[in-house]
Structure 1
Amino acid sequence: MRPRRIHITGASGSGTTTLGRALAAETGALHLDTDDVYWLPTDPPFHQKRPIPDRLALLEDAFGRTDRWLLTGSLIGWGDPLIPRFDLVVFLIVPPALRLERLRAREVERYGAAALAPGGPMHVAYQAFLDWAEAYDIGTQVSRNRQAHEAWLARLPCPVLRIEGDTTVEDRVRRVLAVRLREGQAWRG
């Protein structure tokens, strides 16, 4: 049986959202991203966190509308009540230099080079974000780091598919779609 409720996670810049969108296009499943519920809508974005009960309620509501969904991003530290709903967790691991290159390009596309340059209105926040993203692989100074992800994955009751390296989106989609769960292996929410 194919997993119907999949959580895709990894470090920022590892491609979780890209894979989620591609899988949703391929399967017709609903795609949700944790950033959309974690952050309140602000301008500029990503400055005010939504309260945890509200995040969980938004996701539970979305999950209740369909039996096929893909949840991308990270929910370490706040999303454990959702774990029983996962049929499969996909963990993406990408070399740190490539992740940071992707993040730089994404932020320039989002905000423009001038806003991020020294003296620009978003420069300080941009540098803080890149420092946070780089710290994922090198230590435990930030709560969302590789060590915390590995410990969280080890506690999961569902199967975990690890995809390492700079693989193509098509290869990642193929690998996820190839997963078959044994009877009784999928968890029901």
Structure 2
Amino acid sequence: MFTIRIHIIGGSGSGKSYIAALLSGKLGIPHYDLDDIFWHNQSNEYGVKASEEARDRQLKKIIEFDSWIVEGVFRAWVEPSFAAADKIVVLMTPLPVQEERIWKRYEERITDIVPSKKRETLEGIQNLLAWNKEYNLVKLPDLISRWDYKDKMILVRDNLDLLEFQLI
């Protein structure tokens, strides 16, 4: 059995969860959604963060495994995962595609077409869209331009193109 550690980042709606699940099945290794670590999903309110100690402890457990795929939009607190990763996939899906996916996901969740632990609101989605635009146009390009991990990075504009890369 081979070992590989993959970290996937990209804006909301870029396809991180989709490609993580696809790769997990293809490679036979577990994947972890960083939202499940960052947010306090048992809270009665939407948008409550988990404690930093709990979040960091959970991330440390994950990156100690031989093989994993983690995915999330986060940057600063996931530095240990970037350092431990063999490959870092950066999804640069076009912003209009991401926005369409965010709206579709919201509609599916509020109509219970897709079950969700998240309790989103219209105001929350509007805030997410604004945040995601800045992330994609400013924060992510800035991170990439000054990153120490360029040798591990795979930049992908269409997430299915990732399947053509030799990850192992």
Q: Which residue of 1 aligns with 2:140?
A: 146
Q: After the TM superposition, which residues 88-107 of structure 1 pair with which residues of structure 2 at under 5 Å, given as runs?
A: 88-107=87-106
Q: Is the helix fraction higher in 1 or 2?
A: 2
Aligned equivalents of 1:53, 1:81: Cα separation in 2 = 14
CA distance in 2, matches of 1:106, 1:81: 30
Go from structure 1 to structure 2 and tell me whether the alpha carbon gap of 1:44 and 1:174 turns closer, same or farther (over 3 Å shift). farther
Pick the structure with greater CA Rg. Answer: 1
TM-score normalized by the length of structure 2: 0.82
- Partner amino acid for 1:107? Y
1:172 positional shift: 2.2
The aligned residue for residue 10 of structure 2 is 10
Q: Deviations over 1:99-131 (max 9, x none)?
A: 101111011111239xxxxxxx92222221222
Q: 1:148 to 1:38 in 2, by over 3 A?
A: farther
Alignment partner, residue 109 of structure 1: 108
Deviation of 1:158 after TM superposition, in Å, equals 4.8
Instruction: List gaps (5 residues or longer) in structure 2.
Output: 113-119
How do 1:123-134 and structure 2 match up within 5 A? 123-134=122-133
TM-score by length of 1: 0.74
Cα distance, 1:69 vs structure 2: 0.4
Instruction: Supply the AA of the counterpart residue of 1:38.
Output: F
The CA distance in 2 between the partners of 1:23 and 1:90, in whole Å, is: 12
User: Secondary structure of the equivalent of 1:78?
Assistant: helix
* Uncovered stretches (5+) of structure 1, i.e. residues with no partner: 114-120, 140-144, 181-189
Q: CA RMSD in A?
A: 2.4
Give 2:162's aligned residue: 172
Aligned residue in 2 for 1:162? 155
